[in-house]
Amino acid sequence: MQLYNSLSHKKEEFIPNEAGKVSMYTCGPTVYHFAHIGNLRSYIMEDVLEKYLRFTGLDVKRVMNITDVGHLTSDGDTGDDKMLKGAKREHKTVMEIAKFYTDAFFADCAKLNIKTPDVVVPATTYIDEFIRVISSLMDKGYAYEAGGNIYFDTSKLEKYYVFGDFSEEDLEVGVREGVEEDGNKRNKADFVLWFTKSKFDDQELKWESPWGVGYPGWHIECSCISMKNLGEYLDLHCGGIDNAFPHHTNEIAQSEAYLGHKWCNYWFHVHHLNTNSGKMSKSKGEFLTVSLLEEKGYDPLVYRYFCLLSHYRKSLVFSWENLDNAVTTFNKLIAKIAPLNQDKSGEIDKAEYDRLYKLFTDALDNDLNTAMGITVLYDVLKSKANAATKLALIAEFDKVLGLDLIKKAEAKAAAPAGGNNADIPAEVLELAEQRKAARKEKNFALADELRDKIAALGYEIKETRQGTAINKIG
Ligand code: AMP
Ligand code: ZN
C-alpha cells in the first residue's frame, strides 16, 4: 500500500518493521467534553486505515491514550487546563469528568462503527512510567530543571522540527504551548516534561515525583504509552494534522532521545473538518456532536459516509447542505443494494469478482482513496455480475468502509410496503429487522416487545400481503 508519510512529505510503500504485523498508535481524546465531529473525522479515517490494513491480511495492534491529565490541547488557544475547567463547569471532580467523557467518546465511536483500539490507556494510570522515562532523559542530559519544572532541551537534538514545513502561525502556537511566556526555558522550543508549578491553586490531580509533587506534560503520555505497549520501533503513528506540531514533534524528540534511535517510520495525519468560520474546535465556533446529529434526525453512519467521500489529506468543509447531499446519495446507494437481497442464489462470478475487488484495493492502496472506494461500489452495482457476486463484494468492501451497507439494505428490503423507507429512521428499520428475525424464530413475545419499541418511536408496523409495512403514526 502507498501511504503518504508526513515525515518524508511523499507517498511511500508501507512496509512494517516485522513482516505481517503492524504496530499502530493513535493520539486519543482529551476527555473534558464531548468529541466534536471534527475530532471524529480523524478517528473515522484512522479507523478506515486500520480496517484496511487488517483487510490486506496484516495483524494490527493499535494503542490509544486517553488524555485525562489537564493540559492545553491541540486547540491550544485558551491556555487553560481543560480538564480542570471541565470539572469546574460541571461541578464534578476531574476523574468524574474523565470517566463520563471517556464513556461518551466510545459510545460515539460505536455509533460511527469505529473499532475500539486493542489497548486503551488513560494517562493517569501511567504516572510511574512517565517518571521513569523523564528520569532517564535527565540522566542522559536531554532534560533540565528550571523554576520547579522539568523541561526537554531541544538544543541537544540534531534536528527538532522534523516535519519541516510549518507556517509562522503554527510555530506561534507551539511557543505558546506549555507554560506561557516561560522565562525558565533555555530555548524557545523547549517543552515541559513535568510540572510542579500549576497556575491553578486547586490543581486536583498531582503525584509525587523526584522533582516534587506535580503532574506530567502532555507529550510524554503518548511516547511512554506507545513505547511500553508497542516497543522501541513503531510502524505507524496517527493523529489530526494540528497534532504534527508541537505534539508529535515533541513526541519524536523525547522518544528518540530516550531510545537513542529512530522511533516511528510512518506518520499519518488527517486534515481538518472546517466550518465556514474555520477549523471546528471546542473553544470556538460551531461545536457539533454525534448526539446533535442524531437529534436532528441524521444517522451517524451517514456522517461516516460523508467523511469517506473526501480524501483524508484535504480539509473538509462541513455544512448542513453538504451533509444533506450525503444523506441523499447514501439512501440511493442503499436503495440500489436492497433489491439484490431478493435473489441471492447463483454462483459467484469469479472473473467479475476479481476485477471489481482489484478496483477497490487499487483505490485504497493509493493513499487510502476512500472516495474512489465508494465509486467502486457503484461499479459493482452497474456490473453484469449476478446478485450473489455483487452482495459478496459489497460485504467485503464494507469490512473496510464500515457503513453497515448490507444490514441497511436488508432492513430496507424487509419493509417494501412501507412506502419510501428513506424517510424512516434507521433505528426503526433496524428494530423492524430484529422483529422479523424474532417472528421467524417464533419468538412472538420478543416480536411484540420490538413492535412496542417501534411504536414508542412513533411508527406502526403491519404485516400485509406485500410484506411488512412501516408507517408513521398519526
Ligand atoms: P483533542 O481531544 O483536542 O486532543 O483532539 C483529538 C483529535 O482530534 C486529535 O487527533 C486532533 O488532531 C483531532 N482534531 C481536532 N480538531 C479537529 C478538526 N477540526 N478536524 C479534524 N480533526 C481534528
Ligand atoms: Zn499523542
pLDDT in tens, 108-120: 999 999 999 999 9
- How far does the centroid of ligand 2 lie from the alpha carbon of residue 250, in Å? 9
240 Cβ below 6 A of ligand 1:
yes
Ligand 1 in contact with 373 (CB < 6 A)? no
Determine the residue of 25, 39, 67 to mutate for testing ligand 1's pocket, defined as the one with the most ligand atoms within 8 A of the Cβ atom.
39
Which ligand sits nearest to residue 217's alpha carbon? 2
Specify the pLDDT at position 412: 86
Overall average pLDDT of the 64-77 stretch: 67
Query: Is residue 49 within 8 Å of residue 270, measured between CB atoms?
Result: no
Contacts for 36-39: CB closer than 8 Å, 24+ residues apart: 36/280, 36/281, 36/282, 36/287, 36/288, 36/289, 37/273, 37/280, 37/288, 37/289, 37/290, 37/293, 37/303, 37/318, 38/240, 38/272, 38/273, 38/274, 38/279, 38/280, 38/281, 38/318, 39/240
Cβ of 272 less than 6 Å from ligand 1: yes
Q: Is any ligand 1 atom within 6 A of the Cβ of residue 102?
A: no
Select from 25, 34, 74 the residue to mutate for testing ligand 1; criterion: most ligand atoms less than 8 Å from CB: 74
Specify the pLDDT at position 76: 39
**Nearest by Cα to 31 from 93, 100, 92, 101:** 101
**pLDDT at residue 165 tops 70:** no
Q: Is the pLDDT of residue 377 over 60?
A: yes
Q: Read off the C-alpha cell for 175.
A: 511557543
Distance of alpha carbon 68 from alpha carbon 183, whole angstroms = 27
Rounded Cα distance between 230 and 227, Å, is 5
Q: Whose CA is nearest to atom 8 of ligand 1?
A: 39
How far away, in angstroms, is 45 Cα from ligand 1 center? 12
pLDDT tens figures, 229-267: 999 999 999 999 999 999 999 999 999 999 999 999 999
3-state secondary structure of 192: strand
Question: From the CA of 73, which ligand is nearest?
Answer: 1
Residue 48 confidence (pLDDT) above 70: yes
Q: List, as ranges, residues with CB under 5 A of the ion ligand 2.
A: 27, 222
What separation in Å is there between the alpha carbon of 26 and the centre of ligand 2? 7
Residue nearest to atom 9 of ligand 1 (CA): 240
Q: Which atom of ligand 1 is nearest to the CA of 243?
A: 12
pLDDT category at 131 given cuts 50, 70, 90 is very high
Q: Among the bound ligands, name the one nearest to the CA of residue 313.
A: 1
- Give the domain ranges of the chain: 2-7+14-270, 311-414, 421-472
Q: Whose CA is nearest to atom 7 of ligand 1?
A: 39
> 228: pLDDT confidence band, cut at 50, 70 and 90?
very high
Quick: pLDDT tens for 325-361: 999 999 999 999 999 988 888 899 999 999 999 999 9
- Give pTM, 2 decimals: 0.86
pLDDT tens readout for residues 440-465: 888 889 989 999 999 998 888 877 65
Sequence length of the chain is: 474
Q: What is the mean pLDDT of residues 154-175?
A: 72
Angle CA 149–206–255, to nearest 5: 55
Residue 171 has what pLDDT?
Answer: 56
User: Is residue 13 scored above 60 in pLDDT?
Assistant: yes
Report CA(225)–ligand 2 centroid distance (Å): 9
Average pLDDT of every residue of the chain? 89
The CATH number of the domain covering residues in 311-414: 1.20.120.1910
* Closest listed ligand to the CA of 239: 1
Task: Tell me the per-residue pLDDT of 198-225, one tens digit each, with 9 for 90 and over.
Answer: 666 666 788 999 999 999 998 999 999 9
Tell me if 30 CB under 6 Å of ligand 1: yes
Residue 360: CB atoms within 10 Å: 24
> Sorting pLDDT into bands at 50, 70 and 90, what band is 471?
confident
The answer for 442, left when phi > 0, alpha when psi is -120 to 50, beta otherwise, is: left
Question: Please, which contacts does 431-438 make with residues 24 or more away whose CB atoms are closer than 8 Å?
Answer: 431/457, 432/461, 432/468, 432/470, 433/407, 435/461, 436/468
Q: Which class does domain 2-7+14-270 fall in?
A: alpha beta
Q: Is 279 in the pocket of ligand 1 (CB under 6 A)?
A: yes
Ligand nearest to the CA of 316: 1
Residue 184 contacts by C-beta under 8 Å, 6 or more apart in sequence?
Answer: 146, 147, 149, 151
Is pLDDT of 75 > 60? no
Same fold, 2-7+14-270 and 311-414: no
User: Cα torsion at 329, 333, 335, 337 (round to 10°)?
Assistant: 180
Q: Are 376 and 401 in contact (CB under 8 A)?
A: no
Ligand 2: centre distance to CA 67 (Å): 9
